Amino acid sequence: VNFAAEYWDNVFELFLEEYKAGRTPNPDILCNKEIKFKAFLEFAAEDLGADYIATGHYVRRADVNGKSQLLRGLDGNKDQSYFLYTLSHEQIAQSLFPVGELEKPQVRKIAEELDLITAKKKDSTGICFIGERKFRDFLGRYLPAQPGKIVTVDGDEIGQHQGLMYHTLG
């Protein structure tokens, strides 16, 4: 199943708009909200007749008073609840998070015992669609540089910058 168009419209374009506006977005949160737990979840339910999807997110789910709640993963070092905070109770109810009940070393051991190629895979970090490129080079392909002055609160110019999109405010 190809969700490239949905990704472009609902994740990537918003990512660029946020940078253009001087804010630093987290595309993983948008991807989870719009692609994995919306487009894919709808496809799985409607086209495949699936009651649930299962993901490898390090989170847990609990049903409290008839509503599914998202809980932190058991492994505090790998917890990914922050990346899923936008999910609705309904989306959580239709999702299973089996590795959220385990510590990362346990998951690696299980993968090794099953001879899975992911057993020795390096943990993913960074933004998936950028890969090994330098972030500044990547952003420059989509947003033109907007150089400006760096000015103190007293109005003294102390330098130049290539564009606010290359800096995180705060």
Q: What is the pTM of this model?
A: 0.80
Asked whether 6 and 34 are in contact (CB, 8 A), the reply is yes
Task: Please tell me whether residue 144 adopts helix, strand or coil conformation.
Answer: coil
| Average pLDDT of the segment spanning 88-97 | 98
The candidate with the shortest Cα–Cα distance to 12, out of 132, 136, 138, is 138
Question: Looking at the predicted structure, is the pLDDT value of residue 14 above 80?
Answer: yes
pLDDT-derived band at 170, boundaries 50, 70, 90: low
Tens digits of per-residue pLDDT, 114-169?
A: 999 988 888 877 677 776 778 778 888 888 888 999 999 999 999 999 887 777 77
Q: Is 31 a catalytic residue?
A: yes
Tens digits of per-residue pLDDT, 29-73?
A: 999 999 999 999 999 999 999 999 999 999 999 999 999 999 999
Q: Is 128 a catalytic residue?
A: yes
**The one catalytic residue among 54, 128, 130, 145:** 128
Q: For the chain, which domains are there?
A: 4-129 (3.40.50.620)
Residue 24 is predicted with a pLDDT of 85
| Cα distance between residue 60 and residue 69, in whole Å | 8
The string of DSSP codes covering 57-110 is -SEEEEEETTEEEEEE-SSTTT--GGGGTT--HHHHHTEE-GGGGS-HHHHHHH
Cα within 13 Å of Cα(142), Cβ side: 17
**The one catalytic residue among 31, 87, 107, 165:** 31
Lowest-confidence segment of 14-28, 33-47, 95-109 by average pLDDT: 14-28
What is the end-to-end Cα distance of the chain in Å, rounded?
39
Report, in this order, helix, strand and coil percent for the chain, each rounded to 5: 45, 15, 40
Question: Looking at the predicted structure, is the pLDDT value of residue 20 above 70?
Answer: yes
Residue 92 is predicted with a pLDDT of 98
